[in-house]
Amino acid sequence: MQTSGAEATPVWRRPPIFRLLLIALAAELGFAVLNVSVMPVYLKLDRGFSGTVFTTVLAAFLFSEAVFKPFAGHLADKHGRRMFLILAPALVVLTPLLSLAVPYGWGHAEVVSFVGLRVIDGLAAAMLWPAIYAAVGEAVGPEERTQGMSLLNVCFMLGLALGPLVGGVVNDLFGSRVPSFVLASALFLATGLAAFRFAAKDSRKDRIAEGRGLDEHRLQDLIQCARKIPLVLALAFVVFLAVGLLLGVIKPLASELYSLSETQFGLILLPAAVSMAILGVPISKWGERLGGRRAVQLGLLLCATGIWLVAIGAWFDFARNLAFVAFSGALVGVGFLMAIPSWQAAIGHIDPRRAGSYLGAVMTAQGVGAIVGVPIGGLLFDIGHFWPIIGCASTLSACVLLAAIAIPKP
């Protein structure tokens, strides 16, 4: 139980929360530098992989993350969060460097090696995110859970937005893509050391004694958790299908439609990152006042509006202005900051002792949606460069309606 003094302190300034937020930011920045910023360009330009092959490598990461997340969340409920916060970054400290060590011209073995390394990355991500979301949910009171989830999503989205900028600057500065791989390894190492030093100890015995754990955790419980929230899982799938439509082609879109270099592409995401950092806490408080379902609907509406503003560039030249695109991106960032934490908080209220299992199931649905969306986005890109954007905007618009029945009432 938190003291009144602790409750008076802003959530992000409380040491246990602040440390978890830093761990999340360092981890996501590492994943974004590796798998969003440098890997697609490296595989296409340095390794000479075709579009089909390098998107397959990306899909291996997403598939691995989606498959393992529910099991990792279930095990984090059983054995505690700290173990997974340490083991996850430890798994991926060397995978960026091992990627550089794969011999050139190795034929099918070269592709298989990259796929295998990305599977390990996906396993690490699966171990990390349900554990850290559940840890933050436990570190705040029930009435502050939306704020906690929002702050964590700020860190996640900041890392995702800053990854291309940081990776692009490093690549352009050194005239090589190798330093980005070294940077990713350094970020994962920092994440693991921070988790080892600062993550709260929570063994299974301690969790049961404090009433935060269950005497028995069966795999069947995981299936039961998923069965309790089928509409939430459907919403998560469709929202991230929309995300997947852009995920695999966003850098080619930036180059083809706006002639942006790697650094310029990162800079165009900066307004979204800044808006998320500044508005994260106020938006979460606004979402708490609105209530989970209304907050999710409004957030998804803002996301759909932002993507539609980019999509109309297919017909109107003014919408191709970079300042206009940056504003639209900021709108999308704000929308996600309102929608995602609100539905995560609603799920966390169902049974806090199984929070990792519920969040793992939802994150798996998100991952499967992204996996389905990536190849569809590639097909739409081949038809016309604006079609993935139009498809994303249309799908998010449908999600606004789906959220009305999917999000559980408190």
All structural domains of the chain with their residue ranges: 9-406
Q: What pLDDT sits at residue 255?
A: 77
The rounded distance, in Å, linking the Cα atoms of 207 and 209 is 5
Least confident span in 4-13, 74-83, 114-123: 4-13
Query: Contact, 111 vs 53, CB < 8 A?
Result: yes
How would residue 167 be classed by pLDDT, with cut points 50, 70 and 90?
confident
Q: What pLDDT sits at residue 7?
A: 53
> 179 pLDDT exceeds 50?
yes
CATH class, domain 9-406, is mainly alpha
**86 or 75: which leads in pLDDT:** 86
Residues 337-384: pLDDT tens digits? 788 777 777 776 666 666 666 777 787 788 889 888 888 887 888 788
> 302 pLDDT exceeds 90?
yes
The rounded distance, in Å, linking the Cα atoms of 185 and 159 is 15
Number of C-beta neighbours around residue 141 at 10 A: 13
**175 or 143: which leads in pLDDT:** 175
Supply the mean pLDDT for the chain: 82
Q: What pLDDT sits at residue 237?
A: 93
Query: Contact, 162 vs 66, CB < 8 A?
Result: no
Kindly state the average pLDDT of the residues 393-405: 92
Nearest Cα to 28, choosing from 147, 134, 154? 154
Distances (CA, A) of 53 to 57, 97, 126, 164: 6, 20, 23, 21
Kindly state the average pLDDT of the residues 222-238: 80
Residues 185-198: pLDDT tens digits? 999 999 999 999 88
E strand or H helix that includes residue 139 = helix 108-139
